[in-house]
Protein backbone atom coordinates (compact mmCIF):
# COMPACT_ATOMS: atom_id res chain seq x y z
CA UNK A 1 0.00 0.00 0.00
CA UNK A 2 1.31 3.45 -0.93
CA UNK A 3 1.77 6.09 1.75
CA UNK A 4 0.69 8.68 -0.82
CA UNK A 5 -1.16 8.08 -4.07
CA UNK A 6 -2.50 10.67 -6.50
CA UNK A 7 -4.46 9.86 -9.64
CA UNK A 8 -5.25 12.55 -12.19
CA UNK A 9 -4.96 15.23 -9.50
CA UNK A 10 -5.97 18.62 -10.87
CA UNK A 11 -6.39 22.14 -9.56
CA UNK A 12 -7.67 25.20 -11.37
CA UNK A 13 -8.48 28.74 -10.28
CA UNK A 14 -11.05 30.10 -12.74
CA UNK A 15 -9.32 29.65 -16.13
CA UNK A 16 -5.85 29.17 -14.66
CA UNK A 17 -4.66 25.53 -14.55
CA UNK A 18 -2.20 25.23 -11.64
CA UNK A 19 -1.82 21.43 -11.47
CA UNK A 20 -2.77 19.23 -14.40
CA UNK A 21 -3.41 15.47 -14.19
CA UNK A 22 -0.81 14.58 -11.57
CA UNK A 23 -0.20 10.84 -11.09
CA UNK A 24 2.28 9.62 -8.50
CA UNK A 25 2.76 7.07 -5.73
CA UNK A 26 5.05 7.34 -2.72
CA UNK A 27 6.14 4.21 -0.86
CA UNK A 28 6.10 4.06 2.95
CA UNK A 29 9.39 5.14 4.51
CA UNK A 30 10.86 6.95 1.54
CA UNK A 31 11.90 10.55 0.97
CA UNK A 32 10.05 11.78 -2.09
CA UNK A 33 11.00 15.12 -3.62
CA UNK A 34 8.70 17.40 -5.61
CA UNK A 35 11.11 19.56 -7.55
CA UNK A 36 10.49 22.65 -9.63
CA UNK A 37 10.88 26.42 -9.85
CA UNK A 38 8.60 28.98 -8.22
CA UNK A 39 5.14 28.78 -9.76
CA UNK A 40 5.50 25.12 -10.79
CA UNK A 41 2.55 24.03 -8.63
CA UNK A 42 4.49 22.48 -5.73
CA UNK A 43 2.68 24.27 -2.88
CA UNK A 44 -0.72 23.75 -4.51
CA UNK A 45 0.00 20.02 -4.85
CA UNK A 46 1.04 19.81 -1.22
CA UNK A 47 -2.04 21.71 -0.03
CA UNK A 48 -4.27 19.26 -1.93
CA UNK A 49 -2.46 16.24 -0.47
CA UNK A 50 -2.80 17.60 3.07
CA UNK A 51 -6.52 18.28 2.75
CA UNK A 52 -6.15 22.06 2.88
CA UNK A 53 -7.27 22.62 -0.71
CA UNK A 54 -10.03 20.68 -2.45
CA UNK A 55 -8.87 19.29 -5.82
CA UNK A 56 -10.74 20.38 -8.93
CA UNK A 57 -10.41 16.86 -10.31
CA UNK A 58 -8.80 13.50 -9.73
CA UNK A 59 -8.29 11.72 -6.41
CA UNK A 60 -5.63 11.24 -3.75
CA UNK A 61 -5.08 9.14 -0.64
CA UNK A 62 -2.54 9.79 2.11
CA UNK A 63 -1.92 7.25 4.90
CA UNK A 64 -5.08 5.46 3.80
CA UNK A 65 -7.23 8.60 4.05
CA UNK A 66 -9.07 10.19 1.14
CA UNK A 67 -7.97 13.83 1.03
CA UNK A 68 -11.54 15.01 0.42
CA UNK A 69 -13.75 12.63 2.40
CA UNK A 70 -11.44 11.84 5.36
CA UNK A 71 -9.90 15.23 6.13
CA UNK A 72 -10.28 15.04 9.92
CA UNK A 73 -8.76 11.56 10.11
CA UNK A 74 -6.03 12.68 7.70
CA UNK A 75 -4.94 15.46 10.09
CA UNK A 76 -4.12 12.86 12.73
CA UNK A 77 -1.86 10.93 10.35
CA UNK A 78 0.23 13.74 8.84
CA UNK A 79 2.54 16.56 9.80
CA UNK A 80 2.72 19.65 7.59
CA UNK A 81 5.35 22.35 7.62
CA UNK A 82 4.45 25.16 5.25
CA UNK A 83 6.87 27.70 3.79
CA UNK A 84 5.88 30.15 6.53
CA UNK A 85 5.35 27.84 9.45
CA UNK A 86 3.24 29.42 12.21
CA UNK A 87 5.76 29.85 15.01
CA UNK A 88 4.98 32.40 17.70
CA UNK A 89 7.95 34.77 18.09
CA UNK A 90 6.93 35.91 21.59
CA UNK A 91 6.86 32.33 22.91
CA UNK A 92 9.97 30.37 23.82
CA UNK A 93 11.09 27.29 21.91
CA UNK A 94 9.56 25.02 24.55
CA UNK A 95 6.35 27.04 24.74
CA UNK A 96 5.88 26.74 20.97
CA UNK A 97 6.23 22.96 21.21
CA UNK A 98 3.77 22.87 24.12
CA UNK A 99 1.31 24.99 22.13
CA UNK A 100 1.34 22.57 19.19
CA UNK A 101 0.99 19.65 21.58
CA UNK A 102 -2.23 21.28 22.80
CA UNK A 103 -3.46 21.84 19.24
CA UNK A 104 -2.91 18.19 18.32
CA UNK A 105 -4.33 16.90 21.58
CA UNK A 106 -1.16 15.11 22.65
CA UNK A 107 -1.86 13.36 25.99
CA UNK A 108 -0.41 15.13 29.03
CA UNK A 109 1.09 11.87 30.27
CA UNK A 110 4.45 11.41 28.60
CA UNK A 111 4.72 14.95 27.27
CA UNK A 112 7.94 15.90 29.14
CA UNK A 113 9.77 12.89 27.70
CA UNK A 114 8.47 13.63 24.20
CA UNK A 115 9.45 17.30 24.48
CA UNK A 116 12.97 16.45 25.60
CA UNK A 117 13.34 13.93 22.78
CA UNK A 118 12.23 16.45 20.15
CA UNK A 119 14.50 19.14 21.57
CA UNK A 120 17.46 16.76 21.56
CA UNK A 121 16.52 15.41 18.15
CA UNK A 122 16.60 18.92 16.65
CA UNK A 123 19.63 20.12 18.69
CA UNK A 124 17.48 22.78 20.36
CA UNK A 125 17.88 21.70 24.00
CA UNK A 126 20.34 24.52 24.82
CA UNK A 127 17.88 27.05 23.37
CA UNK A 128 14.57 25.81 24.80
CA UNK A 129 14.05 29.00 26.84
CA UNK A 130 14.96 31.33 23.98
CA UNK A 131 12.17 33.29 22.28
CA UNK A 132 11.42 31.88 18.84
CA UNK A 133 11.71 35.37 17.39
CA UNK A 134 15.37 35.45 18.43
CA UNK A 135 16.34 32.22 16.68
CA UNK A 136 18.39 32.03 13.49
CA UNK A 137 16.68 30.96 10.27
CA UNK A 138 18.01 27.41 10.53
CA UNK A 139 16.90 27.08 14.16
CA UNK A 140 13.42 28.33 13.30
CA UNK A 141 13.14 25.64 10.65
CA UNK A 142 14.22 22.97 13.13
CA UNK A 143 11.70 24.26 15.67
CA UNK A 144 9.00 24.16 13.00
CA UNK A 145 9.93 20.56 12.26
CA UNK A 146 9.78 19.65 15.97
CA UNK A 147 6.30 21.18 16.20
CA UNK A 148 5.15 19.28 13.11
CA UNK A 149 6.36 16.03 14.69
CA UNK A 150 4.74 16.52 18.10
CA UNK A 151 1.89 14.08 17.39
CA UNK A 152 4.11 11.41 15.74
CA UNK A 153 2.75 11.60 12.16
CA UNK A 154 3.08 8.74 9.69
CA UNK A 155 3.63 11.09 6.74
CA UNK A 156 5.48 14.39 6.93
CA UNK A 157 4.94 17.14 4.34
CA UNK A 158 7.64 19.80 4.09
CA UNK A 159 7.14 22.73 1.70
CA UNK A 160 10.58 24.13 0.76
CA UNK A 161 11.81 23.84 4.36
CA UNK A 162 15.38 24.91 3.64
CA UNK A 163 14.61 27.92 1.45
CA UNK A 164 16.90 30.74 2.54
CA UNK A 165 18.69 28.59 5.12
CA UNK A 166 22.49 28.55 5.25
CA UNK A 167 24.34 25.45 3.93
CA UNK A 168 25.35 24.16 7.38
CA UNK A 169 21.77 24.36 8.67
CA UNK A 170 20.54 22.66 5.48
CA UNK A 171 22.93 19.78 6.11
CA UNK A 172 21.79 19.48 9.74
CA UNK A 173 18.15 19.57 8.64
CA UNK A 174 18.70 16.69 6.21
CA UNK A 175 20.50 14.70 8.88
CA UNK A 176 17.33 14.94 10.97
CA UNK A 177 15.18 13.86 8.00
CA UNK A 178 17.29 10.75 7.42
CA UNK A 179 16.86 9.84 11.06
CA UNK A 180 13.08 10.22 10.75
CA UNK A 181 13.06 7.88 7.75
CA UNK A 182 14.97 5.28 9.74
CA UNK A 183 12.14 5.48 12.27
CA UNK A 184 9.56 4.74 9.56
CA UNK A 185 8.28 8.21 8.69
CA UNK A 186 7.44 8.91 5.04
CA UNK A 187 8.66 12.33 3.91
CA UNK A 188 7.23 14.33 1.02
CA UNK A 189 9.38 17.41 0.47
CA UNK A 190 9.23 20.17 -2.12
CA UNK A 191 12.34 22.07 -3.13
CA UNK A 192 13.68 24.37 -5.81
CA UNK A 193 17.25 23.22 -5.07
CA UNK A 194 18.33 20.61 -7.60
CA UNK A 195 21.36 19.62 -5.51
CA UNK A 196 18.99 18.95 -2.61
CA UNK A 197 16.83 16.76 -4.83
CA UNK A 198 19.81 14.40 -5.14
CA UNK A 199 19.21 13.44 -1.49
CA UNK A 200 15.73 12.04 -2.19
CA UNK A 201 15.01 8.36 -2.82
CA UNK A 202 12.76 9.33 -5.72
CA UNK A 203 11.63 12.61 -7.16
CA UNK A 204 9.22 14.24 -9.57
CA UNK A 205 10.10 17.19 -11.78
CA UNK A 206 7.17 19.60 -11.96
CA UNK A 207 6.92 22.46 -14.44
CA UNK A 208 3.90 24.71 -15.01
CA UNK A 209 1.70 22.26 -13.16
CA UNK A 210 2.70 19.23 -15.23
CA UNK A 211 4.77 16.24 -14.21
CA UNK A 212 7.74 16.06 -16.57
CA UNK A 213 9.78 13.22 -15.08
CA UNK A 214 9.50 10.72 -12.26
CA UNK A 215 12.03 8.28 -10.78
CA UNK A 216 15.19 7.97 -8.74
CA UNK A 217 17.82 10.69 -9.26
CA UNK A 218 19.81 8.27 -11.44
CA UNK A 219 16.72 7.37 -13.49
CA UNK A 220 15.86 11.04 -14.01
CA UNK A 221 19.42 11.84 -15.10
CA UNK A 222 19.17 8.96 -17.61
CA UNK A 223 16.20 10.75 -19.21
CA UNK A 224 18.54 13.37 -20.64
CA UNK A 225 17.60 13.51 -24.35
CA UNK A 226 21.07 13.34 -25.87
CA UNK A 227 24.61 13.91 -24.64
CA UNK A 228 25.96 16.80 -22.60
CA UNK A 229 28.96 18.91 -23.59
CA UNK A 230 30.72 21.30 -21.24
CA UNK A 231 32.15 24.38 -22.96
CA UNK A 232 34.66 26.69 -21.30
CA UNK A 233 35.70 29.93 -23.01
CA UNK A 234 37.15 33.33 -22.16
CA UNK A 235 33.62 34.84 -22.41
CA UNK A 236 31.10 32.32 -21.03
CA UNK A 237 28.04 34.58 -20.94
CA UNK A 238 28.52 35.77 -24.52
CA UNK A 239 29.32 32.22 -25.58
CA UNK A 240 25.99 31.02 -24.18
CA UNK A 241 24.13 33.75 -26.09
CA UNK A 242 26.05 32.88 -29.26
CA UNK A 243 25.32 29.15 -29.03
CA UNK A 244 21.64 29.69 -28.22
CA UNK A 245 21.33 31.79 -31.36
CA UNK A 246 23.14 29.44 -33.74
CA UNK A 247 22.69 25.88 -32.44
CA UNK A 248 19.22 24.92 -33.64
CA UNK A 249 17.71 21.97 -31.75
CA UNK A 250 20.28 22.09 -28.95
CA UNK A 251 19.63 23.06 -25.33
CA UNK A 252 22.12 25.63 -24.00
CA UNK A 253 22.52 26.62 -20.35
CA UNK A 254 24.99 28.81 -18.47
CA UNK A 255 26.34 27.32 -15.21
CA UNK A 256 28.75 29.78 -13.60
CA UNK A 257 31.75 30.06 -15.92
CA UNK A 258 30.76 27.02 -17.98
CA UNK A 259 28.26 26.54 -20.79
CA UNK A 260 26.39 23.24 -21.06
CA UNK A 261 25.07 22.11 -24.42
CA UNK A 262 22.73 19.13 -24.88
CA UNK A 263 22.48 17.59 -28.33
CA UNK A 264 21.77 14.23 -29.90
CA UNK A 265 24.49 14.70 -32.54
CA UNK A 266 27.51 15.20 -30.31
CA UNK A 267 30.14 14.78 -33.06
CA UNK A 268 28.91 17.46 -35.44
CA UNK A 269 27.88 19.79 -32.61
CA UNK A 270 31.45 19.85 -31.26
CA UNK A 271 32.77 20.94 -34.64
CA UNK A 272 30.09 23.61 -34.90
CA UNK A 273 30.89 24.93 -31.39
CA UNK A 274 34.60 25.22 -32.23
CA UNK A 275 33.72 27.11 -35.42
CA UNK A 276 31.34 29.53 -33.67
CA UNK A 277 33.69 30.25 -30.76
CA UNK A 278 36.61 30.87 -33.12
CA UNK A 279 34.60 33.17 -35.38
CA UNK A 280 33.53 35.22 -32.33
CA UNK A 281 37.14 35.64 -31.26
CA UNK A 282 36.75 33.87 -27.91
CA UNK A 283 39.47 31.60 -26.51
CA UNK A 284 38.26 28.00 -26.24
CA UNK A 285 39.52 26.71 -22.88
CA UNK A 286 37.76 23.36 -22.84
CA UNK A 287 35.21 21.26 -24.71
CA UNK A 288 34.33 17.80 -23.39
CA UNK A 289 31.40 15.44 -22.68
CA UNK A 290 30.35 15.35 -19.00
CA UNK A 291 27.79 13.49 -16.89
CA UNK A 292 24.55 15.50 -16.54
CA UNK A 293 23.33 16.82 -13.20
CA UNK A 294 19.64 17.03 -12.31
CA UNK A 295 19.82 20.71 -13.11
CA UNK A 296 21.06 19.89 -16.62
CA UNK A 297 18.18 17.46 -17.10
CA UNK A 298 15.61 19.94 -15.83
CA UNK A 299 16.88 22.74 -18.08
CA UNK A 300 16.92 20.40 -21.07
CA UNK A 301 13.46 18.88 -20.69
CA UNK A 302 11.74 22.16 -19.80
CA UNK A 303 13.21 23.60 -22.98
CA UNK A 304 11.51 20.76 -24.90
CA UNK A 305 8.70 19.29 -22.75
CA UNK A 306 6.83 17.52 -25.58
CA UNK A 307 7.09 13.71 -25.10
CA UNK A 308 6.41 13.19 -28.79
CA UNK A 309 9.74 14.82 -29.64
CA UNK A 310 11.52 14.08 -26.39
CA UNK A 311 11.29 10.31 -25.84
CA UNK A 312 13.42 10.44 -22.70
CA UNK A 313 10.56 11.93 -20.73
CA UNK A 314 8.40 9.77 -18.49
CA UNK A 315 5.09 11.55 -18.08
CA UNK A 316 2.92 10.45 -15.16
CA UNK A 317 4.58 7.05 -15.06
pLDDT in tens, 109-158: 989 999 999 999 888 999 999 999 999 988 999 999 999 999 999 999 99
CA angle 243-249-251, nearest 5°? Answer: 55
* For residue 187, pLDDT beyond 90: yes
Q: Choose one of 191, 220, 249: the last residue of a domain.
A: 220
Which helix (H) or strand (E) element contains residue 29? none
Question: What is the rounded average pLDDT of the residues 162-191?
Answer: 89
16 and 147 inside one domain: yes
Which pLDDT score, from 0 to 100, does residue 250 have? 86
Q: Choose one of 185, 202, 220: the last residue of a domain.
A: 220
Look at the chain and report how many structural domains it folds into. 2
For residues 187 and 177, is the Cβ–Cβ distance under 8 A?
yes
160 and 73 inside one domain: yes
Query: Is position 124 within any domain?
Result: yes
Which pLDDT score, from 0 to 100, does residue 304 have? 59
Rg (the chain; Cα; Å): 23
Q: Choose one of 220, 240, 269: the last residue of a domain.
A: 220
Which pLDDT score, from 0 to 100, does residue 309 have? 40
37 and 113 inside one domain: yes
Could you tell me the residue range of the domain that residue 256 belongs to? 225-291
* pLDDT-derived band at 315, boundaries 50, 70, 90: very low
Q: Which of 32, 11, 3 is nearest to 191 (CA)?
A: 32
For residues 198 and 42, is the Cβ–Cβ distance under 8 A?
no
Question: What is the rounded average pLDDT of the residues 266-285?
Answer: 94
Amino acid sequence: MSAIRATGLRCTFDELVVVEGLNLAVAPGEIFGLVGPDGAGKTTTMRMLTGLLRPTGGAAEVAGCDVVRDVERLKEQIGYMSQRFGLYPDLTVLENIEFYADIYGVPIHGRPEKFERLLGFSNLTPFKQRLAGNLSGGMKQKLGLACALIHTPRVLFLDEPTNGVDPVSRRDFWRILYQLVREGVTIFISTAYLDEAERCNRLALLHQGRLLALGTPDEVRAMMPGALLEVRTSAPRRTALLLREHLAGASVGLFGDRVHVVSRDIISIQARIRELVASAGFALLGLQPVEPSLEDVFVSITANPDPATNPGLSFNR
